[in-house]
């Protein structure tokens, strides 16, 4: 664990040093993300000008789900988005270099690159979350649980990206399934109750994005028992561990690209 933490710190420092070289690209990238999410939020405010609620959910509640989901997603996107790039490594014949090193190939892929623009998503998510938290008058004591909630959300997205990238071992990267992770995020930013029952089951059991924002939000809104907060990190850890097991099972079917 200590060795991997050191590996992570060194990789992050290398990435940070690159930002100092291309600092303007980083700034414009972050601003671009902020503008993109601002336009989406303006549309949401526009819709709520015509309706008081959507399926019983107020604007502030939807904003809370939106912000909490975005924080968890952006943590994954900042540090672990490289898990979806497995198809490109395989296509270019670069994946084999991870197999000849003593470190876990999955961990090496995670650390091979970070996404700088996602810091804009993280800032946006925190602003929306704080705004809606104040508007909803959620007790400050729940701030203590917030780090656990957002890290759990990050683990869920990490698990989803790992599972979906596993398909590349069977298709030799012809099907870029891993990118669906970024589409799943769009479902998690709204209350699960607005979706059909089938999707609610999928988003609770198969890809448990319900624990990223919806279930924590229900607890903080005092609509379900607070003890369910204790289940959230447990589910996230189990899902992440299972996803790594699936990934290594898929790795056994990898036969190289012949390049």
pLDDT, tens digit (0-9, with 9 covering 90-100), for 212-251: 999 999 999 988 888 888 899 999 999 999 999 999 998 8
Share of the chain above pLDDT 90, in %: 34
Average pLDDT of the segment spanning 95-104: 83
Average pLDDT of the segment spanning 25-51: 71
Eight-state DSSP code of residue 92: T
- How far is Cα 246 from Cα 253, in angstroms, rounded to an integer? 11
Return the pLDDT at 121. 85
Average pLDDT of the segment spanning 163-170: 86
Helices (H), the chain: 2-21, 23-48, 59-80, 86-91, 96-99, 105-111, 118-136, 146-165, 168-171, 180-188, 197-201, 214-220, 231-251
Q: Reply yes or no on whether the pLDDT at 205 is more than 80.
A: yes
- How far is Cα 236 from Cα 210, in angstroms, rounded to an integer? 11
Q: 18 phi and psi, to 5 degrees?
A: -65, -35
Return the pLDDT at 126. 92
The tens digit of pLDDT for each residue in 136-153 reads 999 888 889 999 999 999
| The token pair that represents 170 in the structure block | 């069977």
Return the pLDDT at 7. 57
- Position of tokens 């709520």? 48
- How far is Cα 12 from Cα 114, in angstroms, rounded to an integer? 8
189 falls in which pLDDT band (50, 70, 90)? confident
- How far is Cα 28 from Cα 244, in angstroms, rounded to an integer? 35
Question: pTM score, two decimals?
Answer: 0.86
Average pLDDT of the segment spanning 68-79: 92
Pairwise pLDDT comparison (169 vs 25), residue with the higher score:
169
By the 8 A CB rule, do 142 and 87 touch? no
Q: Reply yes or no on whether the pLDDT at 66 is more than 70.
A: yes
55 falls in which pLDDT band (50, 70, 90)? confident
């Amino acid at each position: 664990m200590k060795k991997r933490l050191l590996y992570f710190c060194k990789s992050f420092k290398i990435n940070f040093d690159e930002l100092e070289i291309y600092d303007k690209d980083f700034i414009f990238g972050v601003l671009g993300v902020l503008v993109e999410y601002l336009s989406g939020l303006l549309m949401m405010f526009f819709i709520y000008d015509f309706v008081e609620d959507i399926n019983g959910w107020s604007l502030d509640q939807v904003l809370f789900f939106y912000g909490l989901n975005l924080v968890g997603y952006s943590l994954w996107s900042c540090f672990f988005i490289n898990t979806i790039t497995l198809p490109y490594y395989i296509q270019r014949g670069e994946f084999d270099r991870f197999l000849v090193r003593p470190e876990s190939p999955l961990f090496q892929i995670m650390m091979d690159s970070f996404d700088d623009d996602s810091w804009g998503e993280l800032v946006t998510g925190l602003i929306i979350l704080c705004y809606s938290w104040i508007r909803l008058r959620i007790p400050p004591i729940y701030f203590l649980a917030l780090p656990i909630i957002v890290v759990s959300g990050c683990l869920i997205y990490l698990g989803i990206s790992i599972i979906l990238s596993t398909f590349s071992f069977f298709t030799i990267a012809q099907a870029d399934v891993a990118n669906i992770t970024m589409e799943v995020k769009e479902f998690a930013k709204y209350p699960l109750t607005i979706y059909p029952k089938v999707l609610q089951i999928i988003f609770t059991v198969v890809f448990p994005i319900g624990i990223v924002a919806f279930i924590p939000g229900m607890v903080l809104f005092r609509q379900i028992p607070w003890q369910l907060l204790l289940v959230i990190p447990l589910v996230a850890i189990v899902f992440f561990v299972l996803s790594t097991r699936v990934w290594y099972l898929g790795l056994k079917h990898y036969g190289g690209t012949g390049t």
